[in-house]
Structure 1
Amino acid sequence: MKFKILDKSKQFINTFSSFISFIILNPKKFLLKIKNSYKYLKRGDFQVIKNKLIIFLAKDSDLKKIDIKTYNIKDFGEKHFDFPIFKDPSVSIIIPVYNKLDYTFSCLNSLMENIKDIPYEVIVADDNSTDETKNIETYVKNIKIIRNKKNIGFLKNCNNASKFANGKYILLLNNDTNIQSDYLKYLLELIESDEKIGIVGSKIIYPNGILQEAGGIIWKDGSSASYGNGDEPEKYRYNYIKEVDYVSGCSIMIKKKLWDDIGGFDERFAPSYYEDSDLAFEARKHGYKVLYQPKSTIVHFENISHGNNAPHLLANKKAFYKKWNKILEKEHFSKDKDFFLARDRSFNKKTILIIDHRIPTPDQDAGSKTIYQYLELFCELGLNVKFMPDDFRYDAIYAQKLENMGIEILYGKYYYNNFKKWIKENAKYFDFALLSRPDIAVKYMDLIKTCSKAKVLYYGHDLHYIRGLRRYETEKEPAILKESEKWKKIEFSVFNKADLILTPSINEKIIIDNNSSGKKTKVVPPFFYDNFNLTNKDFTERKDILFVGGFNHTPNVDGILWFLREIFPLIIKNIKDARLISAGSNPPDILRNMDNGHNIMIKGYVDDKELKNLYGNARIAIIPLRYGAGVKGKTVEAMYYGVPVVSTSFGIEGMPDIQKTIKPIDDAKQFAAEVIKIYNSESLFKLMSEKETAYIKKHFFKETAKNIFLDILDLNKP
């Protein structure tokens, strides 16, 4: 999908204008922001200032427009196409036609330009055309042409042509369509991602760029609605994969076996209308899902393929209701009501709203990884999941991962200004709300509690005020103590309003329980794994000492600097070729300047693949934290990979019975001695690796987390 990008000068003018408007309309807020920025500047927290600026710019940005392409319908006398020949096509593209060669040629042109690296065949099903379509082979080579001796209508024409299909999948494609870039790729990826997906369909756009349909809705009375018709196709609500009642017949991909098992379109709906809806209901009857894929976009001129047959529409609606009335009465909503649930078949699902500071970036920080895993788990548990980032910024790289799971994300300028309205309008549908982090929870807690009957869950990642106290004990800065006191007030205000407090550690549960009378607290694993079949390198192939952690988190900066200044020099005296590798986003300049290209390497951000390689080459993982709170993702992750961990007390806190596996060391000399001992002992390395892997299997197994949330979300109840 391509996007139009604003000219940089125009973008600057728009942003500058909004900035001046903000100052004029909100002088007190502006002065407060200046005061806060000075506070961060004084403390040297430049990354915080940068992030706040990014958030401001994101709030001012409008949605990026989808750039569609249509193909000239008058080109067929000038161009000739030679389609590629594949011995074993994956997809059989069936194009039913009756006259209108100009549209057919335009459709074929779009196929030629936009299908890459996928084996396919094209079947043109000619329903006894009388125009130049009868000579289509003059213009187009290497396609199958199935000609009917008489006109049998759209539906029967599709059924007949399907008998000649050799692909694993059938794609029914109207001739009055133009597919867009990677249209077929995204349909194929989705239908092959789950064996229980039987049908997939596209985002359908009119030639003027307006949305025609983002999945179809069938109401209780059998009438239908094209969801999103007439709206802007780039809006958030149309951009996530979801189950739908049906997908439009102008673009349907279906498993060939399922098509054959069903028997194709039900001919009681001939010549057309409701055959696509009926096919979707049949697919579900056979145990398959029907999904909408927003990345697969198509332009549809509409009503060219089979004309306007209004009498058939009314008659077929009655026939459809007669056939499926029991299902309609049981599983569907009254007409034009409950769009929030009807648009993605959530009649039997519980809805959860998750709010966090931004779209999670699981490869950059531990908190994001936790929220990402929870989101993924909620989808697997069958919940209707909605996610609201507090910055309302759309980060395509990470947002699309959530949208591919079926998660609807609220983002953009409109929702920044109207999130309260959206919550108030839809709160009646919320069964649960999960609020993440104290500064985020305090902003939304009262609104959700007032507007909805949702069970409100709070997950803080750690106790911020405890982390601040421990930092104060290390740095003795009065401003840090004052900040800690502020966090304590916020956190306990949130605790007292939440219905259930979720915490990653038993230590924090005890603190919360002792200070929040009558509140229910539940320990939940912040990370979990289900694949323990890792292939690890031999001890002799490993040379490195590894530290992993994002540097927007001040305990990580303090910890690695302490290690490099006071511990690593002691190690180098004993192990001349030892090398420290630090991996984590946004390392400060003071740390980057310590990279000597020899035995200290500061890598900054690394992707998951490179991180896995770093663990594979590491002999030891260090967790040299001198303050902090909560369960540390870097500790759990290193243990999962079977890398022996040397840690301070803060690096392993909150993990049950962890001292039976890892002995905490807070003294610099003793820390160095432990690293040296493990580094030089293959037997000790293997022993610790085995013990750590066994620990993770016991305490951080995905099935354990799943069972905890089944109980929390009342999903065990019939």
Structure 2
Amino acid sequence: MSTEEMQSEKTGARAAATDRAPVWSVFDEAWYLRTYPEVPEWMEREHIPSAQDFYTEIGQRYGHSPNPFFDENWYRQVYPDIYRSIARNEVQSGFAHYRAEGCHDRDPHWLFSESAYRWAHPALTDARLAEQGFANGYDHFLAVGALGFSKPHAFFDASLCEDITFRHDAAFNGRSLFSGYLSADAAVADSGRVSWYFDPVWYLQTYPDVAQEIAEGVYRSALHHYLTNDTPRLFDPQPFFSEAHYAEQNPDVMPSITEGHFRNGYEHFVGFGACEGRTPAPGVDLRSYAAQPRVRADIEDGLYPDAYAHYVARQVGGAGFGLSGTQYPMDTAPPDEAATRAMFVREAEALLPGLIRRPAAFHTSGVPEISVIVVVHDQLALTMMALASLRANYGGNIELLLVNSGSHDDSRHFETLVPGARVLNYRYNLGYLEGCNAALKLARAPAVLLLNNDLRLYPGAIAHMLRRLHADPTIGAVGSKLIRTNMRLQEAGSIIWRDGATYGYRREDDPGVTEANFVRDVDYSSAACLLVRADLMRALGGYDPTYRPAYFEDADLCLRLTKRGARIVYEPLAVVEHLEFGSSGSVGSQTLIRTNHRVFARQHADFLRHQQPAHVRNAVLARGRRGAGRRILYIEDRLPLRALGSGYVRSNDVVREMAALGHQVTVFPVLPRRVDVVTLYRDFPETVELIADRSLADFAEFLQDRAGYYDLVWIGRVHNMARLLPIMNEMSRYLPPGGAVLDTEVVATPRTLRRAEVLGLPMPAESMDELLRLELESAHFCQRIVAVTEADAALIRRAGYDNVSTLGHLAHVMPTPRPFAERSDILFIGALHDEGSPNHDALLWFVQGVLPLLDGMLAPGVKVRIAGFLHPSVDPGPLGLHARVELLGPVDDLEPLYDAHRVFIAPTRFAGGLPFKLHEAAAYGLPAVATDLLIGQLGWQPDREIVSGGNGNPLAFAQAVARLHDDPALWETIREGAIFAVSQDCAPERFRETLSEILESCMV
């Protein structure tokens, strides 16, 4: 559950929680008597008036559960210490223990995990739960989470349980899916899946003895048996997992199972093995299946928890897609294009009556912004749909020049059908080329849009093309991204080969591939939708009549513009759906194409001999025209999103500045991580190519495919250089002449030694010099090494390298305006990528050691808010134990946080490089308390630009935080000093100049 969802539910949840006992604590008399049918007779014999009294006096001692939400026998089995306490009469029952104290750290039921629920919803800190009146996470789940689709356990998915409710609605009787499932009898509970991890129907067929035990009341359902039986390694949960196979294939797991850390192999597989790609059963290649792009996408989108669940869903869903290399269907064949073309035409015909009654109007006033030329020969329905699309796409002043080239259908009525259009009527079909040239003579706008009549413009297309054209006077024409009716690319910019043939880049691909979604100069772009500067087109005499009636006239036009020094730019935001060859017959079209190809090749032989030879493997080399900038391959752990922190912000700044300097940058991630589309395209400049679907496993092939394309390779982080070194040694013949740059981001040796010292870990046996040598061993491959601080640069030189440059951080100073008196609270911003990382250690140290001391120094209402990326492997529970703490998770817009808070904290005990978040906080005008370690890295003066929290002393840090939080004079002094310091240290101009010098030193 996101922070926003938590906030939106807050009022309702608090109201629901007021003056009420947790659902799990309430005795359910009806359920109790149904579950234990022997009780009424027993009550009569013992003269006990009510079922609740019976449970209190007798039932709980015999292992009865009070309601469907607490399982007494399971609790005693899982927590033997509680069972011993019951035997010694120290506690009446497991339920009594859970109510008194177990609810804080124990699970109450075989189908609910407190830790997993809290992990999935990190905003549910103890403080937040207490504020809303909930006893624990289970209380919250039963009152709020179970009403939606929150998961209480890996083996219960409410979206699947819905299928059971459709068949047995009466059994659920309006209750939540979880409550209804637990209360249902076995026949209902076992009628279908409630997770992708367990198949009750198959289970009962495979193990008929289990059905007998359920009938005898020993177990309540097949899932209950599987999760609670005494011999868990003897049962498989479904046909897609084999305990025997898993044990045989994974001997490393067996000691953990034998020692009781896991009930069986399947528990390990669900928790870890599935994500690691381990094989669940013979013949199941889960690793290959998980590598399929659509499978990865579905998992990242939250449709399935892992590749194994995805695979099971595909199997039981009837699709029957196996794991022997068969691709998930959406990754393969597009829809039949003949059918989609027919559908496109039928849509136009269906729209025609309405477009005739209420036609699009194109009246102009004054000088139009754009002149649109459309040549038409019959096909009224397609034309009217295209014109409606044009008018709806752009509300500006459009001059429509409509050339009616000898139409025989109702297109001859265009004067009345298209109000405001200037119609040029011809009694004969003069052809596309001559029609455009005739209209060009009449065009009054500074930009001319050549537009086919067999297309639909997607939202914003014209505005994006105009913006691009007007952004730079060197741009002569702007092309669009053309998509065919089957939703496959026609072109993302086009290539002219050495023999004069043309090729639409990424034709047949998904339009969403990142390689088709960055801006670049191209050889040409199809005139199906091409925006051209009117004065340039007139200077060229329009289309060359040599190519009449059509075909290759647009390639010739673009090439002539290029020869005049004008650029042809591909604009991926201008998306157009095109009925390819919809404006002419395909047989005649192919004949014209062949004829005019020969003419084009002869006419431009001097230009073409410098083009790439015609082969699809040369498409990357030919896809963009070279400008003054260089082509740079930028390698990082992941696509460097700003929200990831931990050096990724600086990497993102490096990529941005490379692009701003005019270089063409490709970003290649070493680790396979899917990024959502919104984040992907929001975080990078539009001219940057992002490789989102490949990783280290594909790197060698990637280098071969792009041999000769790049001028420089920039490798971010030393460990990536070490990973890539064997590949780069082998593939050196494919690497660029400019060589490679290693951007260390941080020299980790001092941090490693400091971490061991702080945490009391064994110190490395090697000396610092030996550790530096080992860390930087792979740096010998690179022509230039980049450090983030002068201190790191000195360490690199100490390791024997003198080819070192220093590139720090970039920060734009933009202090938030709120004054001291209107602010409150404490802020920490930082990514938590793994447990034991510097940020994770800092927060644990602060929450556990510093916050208790601050309770006596700060007002009770002062909060500590923690924002930033949280990796799923990091348990947020320990960070939320203090009542002051609020976990916000990732926050898109940090400015409001910086504006609202009074103190920024950086309690880091071991780290290297530069603390970017302190630079960022200073740039936003938020004063900070930091450890002396970080202050030394910054080179700032305590009590002038920052407040010192000491060097690992909790009391010193607490006193520093309280002093800065409550002293307005100190706060103003630190704020002003930090703003000035960061403006000097992280000036964007200085950053760009230094980066440019580094790049120039490497280029040949």
Could you say which TM-score interval applies, normalised by the shorter chain? Answer: 0.7 to 0.9
Question: Are 1:700 and 2:982 an aligned pair?
Answer: no
Larger radius of gyration: 2
Checking the alignment, whether the CA contact within 8 Å between 1:248 and 1:276 is kept in structure 2 is yes
The answer to whether the aligner puts 1:467 opposite 2:751 as a matched pair is yes
Q: Aligned partners of 2:518 and 2:245: how far apart in 1?
A: 38
State the shift of 1:376 in Å: 1.4
1:153 and 2:431 aligned: yes
Which residue of structure 2 aligns with residue 354 of structure 1? 634
Is the contact between residue 95 and residue 173 of structure 1 (CA under 8 Å) also seen in structure 2?
Answer: yes
Change (3 A) 1:506 1:92: same
Q: Match for 1:625: what amino acid?
A: T
SS in 2 for 1:366: coil
Match of 2:98 in 1: none
Secondary structure of the corresponding residue to residue 435 of structure 1: strand
Q: 1:569 to 1:403 in 2, by over 3 A?
A: closer
Q: Which residue of 2 aligns with 1:59?
A: 291
Contact kept in structure 1, 2:847 and 2:882, CA below 8 Å: no
The 8 Å contact of residues 615 and 638 in structure 1, kept in 2 or not, is answered as yes
Relative to 1, partners in 2 of residues 1:124 and 1:393: Cα closer, same or farther, differing over 3 Å? farther
Task: Give 1:593's aligned residue.
Answer: 880
1:638 Cα deviation after fit: 0.8
- Asked if 1:377 is matched to 2:648, the reply is no
The percent of aligned pairs where both chains have the same amino acid is 23
Matched, 1:683 2:969: yes
- What is aligned with 1:670? 956
Q: Check if 1:400 corresponds to 2:672.
A: no
Q: In 1, Cα distance between the equivalents of 2:289 and 2:978?
A: 44
Farther-moved stretch of structure 1 (397-406 vs 361-370): 397-406
Q: How far apart, in 2, do the equivalents of 1:57 and 1:402 lie?
A: 29
Gap change, CA 1:457 and 1:644, over 3 Å in 2: same
Which amino acid is the alignment partner of residue 153 of structure 1? G
Q: Alpha-carbon deviations, 1:476-514, whole Å to 9, x = none?
A: 2459999x9999786233234333322212222222322
- Change in CA separation of 1:12 and 1:521 when aligned onto 2, cut-off 3 Å: farther
Which of 481, 488, 494 lines up with 1:203 in the alignment?
481
Q: How does 1:37-76 map to 2 (within 5 A)?
A: 59-62=291-294, 71-74=343-346, 75-76=348-349
Structure number with the bigger relative contact order (C-alpha 8 A, sep ≥ 6) is 1
Which of 298, 306, 311 is the aligned partner of 2:577?
Answer: 298
Structure 1 Cα separation of the partners of residues 851 and 956 of structure 2: 12
Q: 531, 546, 549: which one pairs with 2:830?
A: 549
Q: 1:335 to 1:640 in 2, by over 3 A?
A: same
Alignment of 1:277-356 (within 5 A): 277-281=555-559, 289-295=567-573, 296-302=575-581, 304=583, 308=589, 309-310=592-593, 313-314=596-597, 317=600, 321=604, 325=606, 332-333=611-612, 338-346=618-626, 349-356=629-636
| Residue of structure 1 in register with 2:183 after alignment | none
- The alpha-carbon distance between structure 1 residues 35 and 536, as it changes in their structure 2 partners (threshold 3 A), is farther
The alpha-carbon distance between structure 1 residues 644 and 616, as it changes in their structure 2 partners (threshold 3 A), is same
Structure 2 letter corresponding to 1:457 = V
CA contact (8 A) 2:361 2:418 kept: no
Match of 1:456 among 736, 740, 751: 740
195-204 or 81-90, which deviates more: 81-90
One of 797, 805, 830 as aligned partner of 1:513: 797
Q: Does the 8 A contact of 2:552 with 2:597 survive in 1?
A: no
Q: 1:486 to 1:391 in 2, by over 3 A?
A: farther
Partner of 1:132: 410
Cα distance between partner residues in 2 of 1:36 and 1:380? 53
What is the CA–CA distance in structure 1 between the aligned matches of 2:256 and 2:412, rounded to whole Å? 74
Q: Distance in 1 between matches of 2:371 and 2:271?
A: 52
For the 8 Å contact 2:645–2:831, the answer to whether it is kept is: yes
TM, length-normalised to structure 1: 0.80
How far apart are the structure 1 equivalents of 2:898 and 2:506? 47
Tell whether the 8 Å contact from 1:59 to 1:412 is kept in structure 2 after alignment: no
Q: CA deviation at 1:385?
A: 1.8
Please say if residues 203 and 297 of structure 1, whose CA atoms lie closer than 8 Å, have aligned partners that are also in contact: yes
Does residue 1:567 correspond to 2:853, yes or no?
no
The count of aligned residue pairs is: 687
The aligned amino acid for 2:656 is: E
Q: Is the contact made by 1:218 and 1:224 (CA closer than 8 Å) also made in structure 2?
A: yes
Deviations 1:97-119 (A, max 9, x none): 1223344245346557x748777
Maintained 8 Å contact 1:200/1:253:
yes
Mapped to 2, the partners of 1:197 and 1:32 lie a distance apart of 62
Structure 1 SS opposite 2:648: helix
How far 1:444 sits from its partner (Å)?
1.3
Match of residue 603, structure 1, among 869, 883, 888: 888
Greater strand share, 1 or 2? 1
Counterpart residue identity of residue 703, structure 1: E
Task: Output the amino acid matched with 2:661.
Answer: L
Q: Which runs of 5 or more structure 1 residues have no equivalent in the other structure? A: 1-6
Q: 1:496 to 1:157 in 2, by over 3 A?
A: same
The answer to which of 50-59 and 154-163 deviates more is: 50-59
Matched, 1:540 2:821: yes
Q: Is the 8 A contact 1:73 1:106 kept in 2?
A: no
**Counterpart code for 1:532:** V
For residues 656-684 of structure 1, give each alpha carbon's deviation from its aligned partner in whole angstroms, at most 9, with x where no partner exists. Answer: 45667335432333333333333334333
- Kindly provide the amino acid, as one letter, of the partner of residue 377 in structure 2: Y
Alignment-derived partner of residue 4 in structure 1: none
350-359 or 627-636: bigger deviation? 350-359
Take 1:99 and 1:202, find their aligned partners in 2: how far apart are those partners? 25
Instruction: Verify: 1:634 aligned to 2:917, yes or no.
Output: yes
Question: What's 1:443 paired with?
Answer: 723
Shift of 1:131: 2.9
Q: Give me the whole-angstrom Cα distance separating, in 2, the residues matched to 1:618 and 1:196.
A: 47
Q: Secondary structure at the match of 2:643?
A: coil
